[in-house]
Amino acid sequence: MSAEINMKDNTSKKKEVLSDKSKTVQGDVYVQDVHKYFGVTRALNGVNFNANFGEIHAIVGGNGCGKSTLAKVMSGVLPIDKGKVSVLGHTPTSPVMARNMGIATVFQEVMIAEEASVVDNLFVGSDDFWYKNLTQREKVLKAQEIMEDLVGEYIDPYTQAFNLSLPIKAWITIARAFLRENTKVLILDESSAALDFDSTERLFKKMRELRDNGVAVFIVTHRIAELVRISDKATVMRDGKDVGVLEKKDLNEKNLIGLMTGRTEIGEKSKGLALQAKTDKIVMRAENLVVWPNSKPVNFEVKKGEIVGVTGLDGNGQDDFVKILAGVQESHGGTTEILDTKEKFTKYNSLEDAKNNGISFVSGDRKKEGILPNLSIYENLVVPLYKKTSRGGFLGFVDWMELNGIFDWEVDRLSIKTGPRDNLIGSLSGGNQQKVMIARSFAQHPKVLILNDPARGIDVSTKRDLYTHLRNYVEEGNTVVFLSSELEEFIGLCPKVMVFRNGTVFDIFENEKVNADTLLEGMFGQTAGIGETTISSKSNTPLMPTPNRKIDNKIPEKKILKVVDFGKENNNENKTKIKIKTF
């Protein structure tokens, strides 16, 4: 309590002398009494803080507290209604001015032109109207160099963006900022949200290099463990205001969450064993499932009332695996089966089949696979329920009273800050958009919930609430498949975690072995692994097909085709000149 009072006192004193200090200390970046309104919503309501060059300064707070708005104000994207923003004694009033001042910003949403190549996405807007700053060959070479440096592998500069995974697209947006040579201020808004541990470490290395070269780096993130490791200082926001500043020595989870929530006592996160399934009854299974064309088959089963974790380094097939289970993506072989209402396993291989059998999917890529940007907050949450709640037979009258009750219940349960429900979904912060997607799935009451990095962009307090909801959900007899790139999320939540490498399950960890260190070793292939054998089953339900059972969707054997031009061997015009031989 005393630490919080001291922090508040220090903050209030800093507010009083902020204007004078900004004039005397060269190199300060400061925000003084900044207000920003969107109609009746006060996104920023008197924010004050300052930072120095050569430090990494974190901006942290709950969803909807104004962090992203502040980043846009500092980048010149949004004009302020009151107050002052100063960078090197100047106030950025437009993105062009901010860029000329040396401010580079990586925004929360992955801003990519899907039909453009990697090199075009990297250098978009870099040329003047009348002439180019670099030749095309120079751009290609720089694109190849920086992407290989950041991603850790070769990325073809001519590849179109829609062929790339979400983490690679995120790297493209980050690389744009690193390509600038005059960068004095770097603002990263949730830039590591789509990255795994290995990729995040490479990003942190770049951030430290910029800090050591005198650049002021601002990072907006919900990942507390990352924030503590990388930041030199943190400003905590709540309800559009700054509520405290923490120095490096005071940066820990307890202090951060205490300021974010306004509660003086915060219980530590449970590190006990996760909730165990109360039955051996299998509700979903996959047999000889081929995730990639040349990967080893995966045999998988999940019990009723179980939360199974899935993880792996980016690009190792775990994302494809959960999408196949959800019916979003087709496999290259094998079958997926779900226990139907008649207690018999039925095969499914499409999103419609999965939905009809009680499977719901929540994607971490809310912009591409989640939100409906032209619809309201209300419609985004209840749109799958129109048919289910309709009355009047073929007339299909929608029961708005029932939908209103469902909407209010889910919004209250997940603490979604919505404002007027008729506002477009884009008016919400990224974290609140993600919560709307999760609420949409809960509202459908599925028996199997498949989550693909659902907590991306959600604050720590809301994550804990989500974990509580998931535990309650499985205690009711439902099942969860939970993919995450944050290893800490599995602890105390998942009794079993599967680690993917090269498109297949490399290792499986259960109970006390589910910890960040062991999982990380497995992700890098440093554990024994499970070899080529299938996942062991403790239930009486056979996982592997019996010898007399024919496996469907088997990959067809390749045939060698040879094209022979007999016209060159025989000049007789009456004979067929081109034939195909099959061996």
For residues 1-10, average pLDDT: 46
pLDDT of residue 176: 92
In this predicted structure, the answer to whether residue 23 has a pLDDT above a threshold of 50 is no
Same domain membership, residue 238 and residue 319 = no
Domain boundary among 231, 261, 291: 261
Q: What percent of the chain has pLDDT over 70?
A: 83
pLDDT of residue 392: 67
CA nearest neighbour of 282 among 318, 232, 336, 243 = 336
Same domain membership, residue 79 and residue 32 = yes
pLDDT of residue 457: 67
Domain that holds residue 573: 269-358+446-583
Q: What is the CATH number of the domain that holds 282?
A: 3.40.50.300
342 DSSP 8-state letter: T
Domain total of the chain:
3
Please write down the HEC assignment for all residues of 192-235: CCCCCHHHHHHHHHHHHHHHHCCCEEEEECCCHHHHHHHCCEEE
Averaged pLDDT of the chain: 81
Q: State the amino acid at position 262 in one-letter form.
A: G
Phi and psi torsions of 11, nearest 5°:
-65, -45
Phi and psi torsions of 371, nearest 5°:
-75, 155
Band (393; pLDDT cuts 50, 70, 90)? low
Domain boundary among 427, 445, 463: 445
For residues 487-509, average pLDDT: 91
Domain boundary among 208, 231, 261: 261
Measured in whole angstroms, the distance separating CA 213 from the mean position of its chain's CA atoms is 30
Same domain membership, residue 308 and residue 236 = no
251 DSSP 8-state letter: -
| Lowest pLDDT segment from 74-83, 119-128, 221-230, 293-302 | 221-230
pLDDT of residue 414: 81
| Lowest pLDDT segment from 100-104, 454-458, 566-570 | 566-570
Same domain membership, residue 274 and residue 257 = no
| Lowest pLDDT segment from 73-77, 174-178, 397-401, 457-461 | 457-461
Same domain membership, residue 375 and residue 346 = no
pLDDT of residue 139: 93
Which contiguous run of DSSP H or E holds residue 147?
helix 136-151
Identify which has the larger pLDDT, 540 or 410: 410
Band (534; pLDDT cuts 50, 70, 90)? low
What residues have CB less than 8 Å from 243, skipping those under 6 apart?
Answer: 8, 11, 236, 237, 259, 262
In this predicted structure, the answer to whether residue 160 has a pLDDT above a threshold of 90 is yes
Same domain membership, residue 506 and residue 434 = no
- At which residue do the structure tokens 């670099």 appear? 134
When mean pLDDT is compared over 217-226, 400-409, 422-431, the highest value belongs to: 400-409
Same domain membership, residue 185 and residue 78 = yes
Phi and psi torsions of 279, nearest 5°:
-145, 160
In this predicted structure, the answer to whether residue 546 has a pLDDT above a threshold of 50 is no
Same domain membership, residue 232 and residue 202 = yes
The predicted-structure confidence for 106-133, as pLDDT tens digits, reads as follows 987 788 898 999 999 999 888 777 778 8
Predicted TM-score (pTM) of this structure? 0.65
Band (259; pLDDT cuts 50, 70, 90)? confident
Buried b (16+ CB within 10 A) or exposed e, 251-281: beeebbbbbbeeeeebeeeeeeebbebeeeb
